[in-house]
Amino acid sequence: MIFIDTWGFKAYIDKKEEKHTKVKEYIEKTWKNKQQLVTSDYIIDETITLLSYRLDYEKVKIFIEKLELSIDRGYINLVRVSIEDFEEAIKKKLKYKDKLGISFTDLTSMEIMLRLKIENIITEDKHFQDVGFGFKALFVK
């Protein structure tokens, strides 16, 4: 399994994103190899909000429709942030005083990744590597 964060979805859908082609090819290769992408309800919330601010309505609508289809067909596993994930993310937010740039959504993603034993994440965000859990951010600059 491979986790996909907000940046991964944006890079996949937005042709203006610098790494659009690489991300699109990687995701499609993943699906062709029958591997499932995992994401969370918090990531979907964040992605729809971001796309609404940066892109037009049609692209947001297309994203939502393709996302629903991908979930229905089993290409994407949508995981809900559990109470335990939320509580552990709160603890980490208080623990990482020197890493205030890590979003709360990222911390909930890390909890899901730890729980499901997922190492790889489609992201450009190096915070996932900085926390020392062995995550591999696949598109870090």
Residue 82 sits in a domain whose CATH number is 3.40.50.1010
Check if the beta carbon of residue 8 is closer than 8 Å to that of residue 23. yes
Check if the beta carbon of residue 131 is closer than 8 Å to that of residue 11. no
Query: How far is Cα 1 from Cα 35, in angstroms, rounded to an integer?
Result: 6
Query: How far is Cα 43 from Cα 133, in angstroms, rounded to an integer?
Result: 20
Check if the beta carbon of residue 26 is closer than 8 Å to that of residue 124. no
Number of domains in the chain: 1
DSSP H/E element including 82: none
Residue range of the domain that includes 40: 2-137
Question: Does residue 141 register a pLDDT over 80?
Answer: no
The pLDDT > 90 percentage for the chain reads 84
pTM, full prediction: 0.92
pLDDT at position 100 is 81
